[in-house]
Structures are given as C-alpha cells and as structure tokens.
C-alpha cells in the first residue's frame, strides 16, 4: 500500500513566491501614489473648510476675520507669520490660526477671540504660496478680500506633480481647487 504525500513541492512554492513578488513590485508604486493623493486631498479639504469658515464668520459677525499662517499656532499667544514660505520653507503646513480682528491691525490682540487653530500638518511637506505672497487672508464683513487674490499649492517636492493641488481664493473670498492640470488659478 502506497501512502500519498500531501503538500507542495519546492518548485511549486518557488513559482508562487515569484508570482507574489512580481505582483507586489507592481502594486507598491500605485499604492504609494494613492496614499500621497489621499494625504493631499485631506489636507486640501481642511484648508478649504477653514477658508470657508473664516469667510462665513466674517459675514456672520459683521467684522473682519483673519486667517493667517503661523509657525507656532498652538502657542499660548499665537502670532501670524509674515515671511513667505515660513522659517523652514513648509509655509502653511506649519499651521494657521483664525481670529476676529476688531481693530484691523491683523494681529491677534488679547481682547480678540481666537476662532480656530490648525496645528502643524506633518503628513504634508509644504503648502506654499504660488505667485504673490499670501501669508494671511483678511475677510471683510462682506466676505470679500480687500485687494488680492491668492494661490496656495498643497504638496511640495516630495509629492508627484499629479497629486499636488492648487487652492485659489478670489477677490470675492471664495475658495476653490483648480483642475489637476492647472498651472495657475487663471486657467479654467
């Protein structure tokens, strides 16, 4: 009586491992791009939500609301950062603050309410101003910006250009995301 052995031969095991290795090597770059795309998309949504919140609060409160980039947004008394790109070149990825600016000096004073704080976004290497410097947005009681439009590019050199996003803010204070292929906000 012959006993039949069950299991895999070494050759069968090696073929399965080779196929698994090839499929994994093909999937990893796509998965990495998917993670980058989701990270940029989530950060862009957070930025848009706060821009829209600042605009709506300016209208609701009937006064100026400032959203500004801050190098240390979680400080006891956070301050706006005036330098373009920030101290380490990460720009808005260091974080930002929103506050009602009663006296119009674009500085968070002791008697002015701090509306929202966005801490440092570690998953993104940079959110930088594209074109003109936009370290702060001053929304008037009408929801409009005083005199300038702005473009912010989400995702820096560590991200593929196809996953970067361009956030556009027009004079009306409305924020939107430009098409994935747009080089600037002027393109449709």
| Three-state helix/strand/coil letters over the chain | CCCCCCCCCHHHHHHHHHHHHHHHHHHHHHHHHHHHHHHHHHHHHHHHHHHHHHHHHHHHHCCCEEEEECCCCCCCCCCCCCCCCCCCCCEHHHCEEEEECCCCCCCCCCCCCEEEEECCCCCCCCEEECCCCCCEEEECCCCCCCCCCEEEEECCCCCCCCCCEEEEECCCCCEEECCCCCCCCCCC
Whether 153 shows a pLDDT value over 60: the answer reads yes
Whether 161 shows a pLDDT value over 70: the answer reads no
Place of tokens 């196809």: 162
What would the two tokens of residue 93 be?
A: 């990825």
At residue 10 the predicted structure's pLDDT band, cuts being 50, 70 and 90, is: confident
131 by Cβ neighbours in 10 Å (0-12 / 13-18 / 19+) ranks as middle
Taking the C-alpha atoms of residue 151 and residue 178, their distance in angstroms, rounded to an integer, is 9
Q: Answer for the pair 33, 155: CB distance below 8 angstroms, yes or no.
A: no
Whether 87 shows a pLDDT value over 70: the answer reads no
Over residues 38-79, the pLDDT tens digits come to: 888 899 999 999 999 999 999 999 999 999 999 888 988 999
Task: Parse the chain into domains and list their residue ranges.
Answer: 12-177
Whether 11 shows a pLDDT value over 70: the answer reads yes
Whether 139 shows a pLDDT value over 80: the answer reads yes
- Stretch 75-85: mean pLDDT: 81
Taking the C-alpha atoms of residue 94 and residue 121, their distance in angstroms, rounded to an integer, is 6
Over residues 90-138, the pLDDT tens digits come to: 888 899 999 999 998 888 988 999 999 999 988 888 888 876 667 889 9
Place of tokens 């101003």: 129
Instruction: Give this prediction's pTM.
Output: 0.80
Q: Answer for the pair 154, 43: CB distance below 8 angstroms, yes or no.
A: yes
What would the two tokens of residue 150 be?
A: 């702005």
What class does CATH assign to 12-177?
alpha beta
Averaged confidence pLDDT in the chain:
85
Q: Answer for the pair 40, 124: CB distance below 8 angstroms, yes or no.
A: yes
């Amino acid at each position: 009586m012959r006993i039949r052995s069950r299991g895999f031969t070494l050759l069968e095991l090696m073929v399965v491992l080779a196929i698994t290795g090839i499929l994994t090597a093909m999937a990893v770059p796509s998965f990495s791009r998917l993670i980058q795309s989701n990270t940029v998309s989530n950060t862009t949504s957070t930025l848009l939500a706060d821009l829209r919140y600042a605009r709506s609060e300016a209208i609701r409160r009937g006064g100026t609301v400032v959203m500004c980039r801050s190098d240390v947004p979680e400080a006891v008394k956070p301050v706006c950062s005036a330098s373009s790109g920030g101290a380490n070149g990460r720009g808005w990825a260091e974080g930002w603050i929103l506050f009602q600016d009663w006296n119009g000096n674009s500085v968070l004073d002791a008697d002015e309410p701090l509306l929202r704080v966005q801490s440092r976004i570690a998953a993104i290497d940079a959110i930088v101003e594209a074109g003109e410097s936009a370290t702060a947005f001053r929304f008037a009681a009408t929801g409009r910006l005083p005199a300038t439009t702005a473009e912010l590019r989400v995702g820096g050199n560590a991200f593929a250009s196809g996953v970067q996003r361009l956030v556009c803010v027009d004079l009306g204070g409305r924020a939107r995301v430009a098409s994935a292929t747009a080089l600037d906000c002027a393109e449709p």
